[in-house]
Amino acid sequence: MRHFFGPPGRDRSVATAFGLFLVLCIAAVILIRTGLLESPELELGDRVTPVAGEMRTTEGIPIQIGAYLENVYLFSSDDGTFDADGTVWLIFPEQAAQLLRERELAPADLLHFVNRIDDWDFSLEPRQKEPLRLSDGRSYQAFRFSGHFYVNDLDFHRFPFQTVRLPLVLELYELGTEPERPVLNLLPDRTASGVASYVSVVGYRTVGFHIASGVREYATDFGLGGVDSRAHRTRQVSFVVSYQRSVNSALLTLFLPLIVLMALVLFSPMLSASLWDVRLGIPPMALLTLIFLQQGYRDKLPELPYITFMDVIYNLCYFVNLILFALFLWGSNRLHLASEDERPDVVCSLDVIDRRFQLGLSLAIILLALVNWFVIASHFG
């Protein structure tokens, strides 16, 4: 009696072809995930070194800076830009005030909004005609600002669970170019700085506000190497508002349709192998639906040079559908080649194999999704 699994030579050729295809797919995934196919990026010369604490040193003149963000609006993930209004203030000692008078400068001339763009619609207006004198002898000057700003490090690796951070980055302009010029030590006013009630961004939940201090070292001396031999470094303070998409919204709008679709796909091996015509139609239909769903959430993202967590989930779903289609195709061929006497045994054997694939693929999706999440979290969290 002929073996119900079909001719051994045919089985080996099909298994070899399918195994080779899986190996090529795995190799492609490894190449994509490791970035070996990408051209090397230009190494940027500027460096910002984070500094914990208040950066208090005995060197130079301490100048305190604070900010109160009143409005954040018109955030565009495609352009990486947003608009913001608020108040920024400087508190500086008499030594700094004397230097400003000697150079005939106003306190506003010290302020440098690093991530400001579109100068034509930027405004910076002093709230007092002259700096106020505080009880400790220092001077205080506040300014009302409004402008268009750029976000340099939008990260969507963890989409749809990513955190969007919109920073207001401030530095101080140098007071001259002479080698003996004083160093300006910029200190954040952590106590008084904050945000108002109108910093919410449509589609996101406001989850935090923090202040980051750092030292920025430029990759150039701006042509002053013969005048100033010191490395061109400046203090930097960032006032950052953090946003996240709603987890409930992401689960209901992005994951629920995908989970329902894949549940239908993974239930399909429970159909008897004798219903081969019904089973063969399920994976192609699911693939078309997956493409439609993926295009829907991709429209919410900018053009990215990397894949997101959600992309990985969809890629896993594509592979599951492809493997099930190959399994159903192989099973229908076995059923077609079997005689009438062998068909019951072939159907029973195929049903057992289908159950094993059903369990294995379900576990593979869950485990690989978790592994990918923790890999992304460890690198970009």
Instruction: Give the single-character DSSP code of 118.
Output: -
What gap in Å lies between CA 282 and CA 55, rounded to an integer?
A: 62
Do residue 51 and residue 169 come from a single domain?
yes
Whether 138 is covered by a domain: the verdict is yes
CA angle in degrees (0–180, nearest 5) for 207-208-210:
165
Q: Is the pLDDT of residue 4 over 50?
A: no
Q: Is 104 helix (H, G, I), strand (E, B) or coil?
A: coil
Instruction: Give the pairing of strands 61-76 and 194-198.
Output: parallel
Instruction: Give the single-character DSSP code of 42.
Output: P
Task: Give the pLDDT score at 342.
Answer: 81
Closest CA to 309 of 363, 255, 360, 273: 255
CATH number at residue 149: 2.70.170.10
Do residue 75 and residue 164 come from a single domain?
yes
Which residue would you say has higher pLDDT here, 101 or 378?
101
Within 10 angstroms of residue 225's Cβ, the number of other Cβ atoms is 10
Whether 123 is covered by a domain: the verdict is yes
Please report, as a single letter, which amino acid is at residue 162. Q
Do residue 52 and residue 137 come from a single domain?
yes
Query: Token pair 């077609």 is at which residue?
Result: 336
How many CA atoms within 13 Å lie on the side-chain side of 1? 10
Token digits of residue 189 = 């006013």
What gap in Å lies between CA 324 and CA 244, rounded to an integer?
A: 36
Whether 275 is covered by a domain: the verdict is yes
Asked whether the beta carbons of 147 and 97 are under 8 A apart, the reply is: no
Task: Give the pLDDT score at 22.
Answer: 72
Query: Which of 177, 211, 245 represents a domain boundary (last residue)?
Result: 245
Do residue 57 and residue 131 come from a single domain?
yes
Share the mean pLDDT of the chain: 84
Whether 288 is covered by a domain: the verdict is yes
Do residue 175 and residue 273 come from a single domain?
no
Do residue 212 and residue 273 come from a single domain?
no
Structural domain of 82: 47-245
Token digits of residue 7 = 């001719």
Task: Give the pLDDT score at 12.
Answer: 65
Do residue 100 and residue 221 come from a single domain?
yes
Q: Is the pLDDT of residue 44 over 80?
A: no
Taking only the tens place, the pLDDT of each residue in 277-309 is 888 889 999 999 999 999 989 888 888 888 889
Mean pLDDT to the nearest integer, 78-107: 91
Lowest mean pLDDT among 190-194, 299-303, 358-362: 299-303
Closest CA to 295 of 312, 317, 313, 311: 311
Do residue 97 and residue 225 come from a single domain?
yes
What gap in Å lies between CA 71 and CA 358, rounded to an integer?
A: 52
Query: Which of 195, 229, 245 represents a domain boundary (last residue)?
Result: 245
Please report, rounded to a whole number, the percentage of residues in the chain having pLDDT higher than 70: 85
CATH number at residue 301: 1.20.58.390
Q: What's the Cα-to-Cα distance from 278 to each of 44, 282, 328, rounded to whole Å?
A: 56, 7, 10
Asked whether the beta carbons of 91 and 138 are under 8 A apart, the reply is: yes
Q: What's the Cα-to-Cα distance from 212 to each of 52, 186, 187, 313, rounded to whole Å?
A: 8, 12, 10, 34
> What distance separates the 2 farthest-apart alpha carbons in the chain?
106
Do residue 197 and residue 100 come from a single domain?
yes
How many structural domains comprise the chain? Answer: 2
Provide the H-helix boundaries in 274-342: 276-298, 309-337
Token digits of residue 31 = 């190449």
Do residue 187 and residue 230 come from a single domain?
yes
Whether 12 is covered by a domain: the verdict is no
Within 10 angstroms of residue 150's Cβ, the number of other Cβ atoms is 17
Do residue 217 and residue 290 come from a single domain?
no
Whether 21 is covered by a domain: the verdict is no
Whether 35 is covered by a domain: the verdict is no
Do residue 207 and residue 352 come from a single domain?
no
Q: Is the pLDDT of residue 96 over 60?
A: yes
Q: What's the Cα-to-Cα distance from 88 to each of 118, 124, 146, rounded to whole Å?
A: 19, 9, 10
User: Taking the chain, what is the end-to-end CA distance rounded to the nearest angstrom?
Assistant: 61
Whether 29 is covered by a domain: the verdict is no
Instruction: Give the pairing of strands 184-188 and 61-76.
Output: parallel
Q: Is the pLDDT of residue 77 over 70?
A: yes
Within 10 angstroms of residue 361's Cβ, the number of other Cβ atoms is 21
Query: Which of 229, 245, 261 represents a domain boundary (last residue)?
Result: 245
Taking only the tens place, the pLDDT of each residue in 124-159 is 999 988 899 999 989 999 999 999 999 988 889 899
